[in-house]
Amino acid sequence: MKYFLFLLFFIIFFLPITTFADISLTHVGSIKDNQITELYGVHAITIVGDYAYIAALFDDGVSIIDISDPASPTHVGSITDDDVTLLAGAYDIVVVGDYAYVTSKDDDGLEILDVSDPTSPTHVGSLVDDKTTYTNPRNDMSEMANLAVVGDYAYVGQYYGGLEIIDVSDPTNPIRISSVLSDVSDLSFTPWDVKIVGDYAYVASMNSGLSIIDISDPANPFHVSSVLYEDIDFRGLDTIEISGDYAFMLGKNDNGISL
């Protein structure tokens, strides 16, 4: 274990310094929360062109920042939770084309916004857990976490249930079409981050590890394999990135990176 921890320290801190000693980081610009920017509790960000789209967990909304001049980022638009939008506890955000897809941890659902005009994002559709739709108590949509959007589908890690697959081909009427439950996929209670590569969804679970789901038929996904945290002694997995043949995983409980 001591050797493992030293190796992590060497890779993360020592290697960049010795290999890229000529590279330095310089602060360029910033923007902070106020009554206009709606940035309190910033939790997720995605960049598209000249704009940064930010989900603010505590401000219950989405803020759009013009970053065309990195030295002077400027707030251009925002939208917050109300009786129509599902943005309470805005958790993750993905922008594809003219639409922003936002998971709502407190509203238990998925919100879809039209961001074709960054100065005026508007609600176009949503899908909420009404607590009556699902017969299996673990097969619900409460506490939606991170998501990925590929083609006509949104893939959402759902804190208490598993992986939810939602048809978003009509942004005004998203439809839940399938899921992979925790008890059949080693997703435990906390599927957190989701990445899609080809026909597979890679799901990071806080309490379990990494699960791989075949999504070649989104209506009938199934569990393929898993790497459990007991096997690699790596806990608190909440972020995953896929590059080539490797999965890079961050574990907040073990304060490290595993691959």
The three-state secondary structure class of 62 is strand
106 or 216, greater pLDDT: 216
* Cα pseudo-dihedral 194, 196, 199, 200, rounded to 10: -30
Q: Which three-class secondary structure string do you get for 114-181?
A: ECCCCCCCEEEEEEECCCCCCCCCCCCCCCEEEEEEECCEEEEEECCCEEEEEECCCCCCCEEEEEEE
- Do 31 and 39 contact (CB within 8 A), yes or no? yes
Instruction: Read off the pLDDT band of 116 (50, 70, 90).
Output: very high
* Residues 10-54 pLDDT 10s: 333 444 444 545 667 888 888 888 888 888 888 899 999 999 999
- Do 102 and 171 contact (CB within 8 A), yes or no? no
- Do 87 and 61 contact (CB within 8 A), yes or no? yes
Identify the pLDDT of residue 215: 95
Determine the Cα angle at 118 with ends 29 and 152, to 5°.
115
User: Distance between CA 13 and CA 11 in Å, rounded?
Assistant: 6
User: Distance between CA 197 and CA 117 in Å, rounded?
Assistant: 30
User: What domains appear along the chain, each with residue ranges and CATH number?
Assistant: 2-258 (2.130.10.10)
User: Distance between CA 162 and CA 141 in Å, rounded?
Assistant: 9
User: Distance between CA 208 and CA 251 in Å, rounded?
Assistant: 11
Identify the pLDDT of residue 63: 95
* Residues 161-181 pLDDT 10s: 678 899 999 999 999 898 887
What token pair was written down for 148?
A: 């990925």
* Residues 206-230 pLDDT 10s: 766 788 899 999 999 988 887 766 5
> For residue 14, how far is the Cα from the chain centroid?
29
